[in-house]
Amino acid sequence: QVQLVQSGAEVKKPGASVKVSCKASGYTFTNYYIHWVRQSPGQGLEWMGIINPSDGSTSYAQKLQGRVTMTRDTSTSKVYMELSSLRSEDTAVYYCARDRLVSGVSSTDVWGKGTTVTVSS
Partner 1 sequence: EIVLTQSPGTLSVSPGERATLSCRASQSVSSSYLAWYQQKPGQAPRLLIYGASSRATGIPDRFSGSGSGTDFTLTISRLEPEDFAVYYCQQYGSSPCTFGPGTKVDIK
Binding site for partner 1 (CB under 8 A): 35, 37, 44-47, 49-50, 59, 61-62, 95, 97, 100, 105-109, 111-114
Q: Which is nearer to partner 1, 40 or 74 (CB)?
A: 40
Minimum CB separation of residue 14 from partner 1 in Å reads 26
Other CB atoms within 10 A of residue 80 CB: 17
Q: How far apart are CA 12 and CA 113, in angstroms?
A: 20
Q: Is 51 exposed, middle or buried (0-12, 13-18, 19+ CB in 10 A)?
A: buried
CB 77 within 8 A of CB 27: no
Q: How far apart are CA 118 and CA 90, in angstroms?
A: 8
CB 37 within 8 A of CB 47: yes
Q: Which is nearer to partner 1, 87 or 113 (CB)?
A: 113
Q: Which is nearer to partner 1, 65 or 121 (CB)?
A: 65
Q: Which is nearer to partner 1, 53 or 112 (CB)?
A: 112
Minimum CB separation of residue 121 from partner 1 in Å reads 27
Minimum CB separation of residue 45 from partner 1 in Å reads 4
Minimum CB separation of residue 68 from partner 1 in Å reads 12
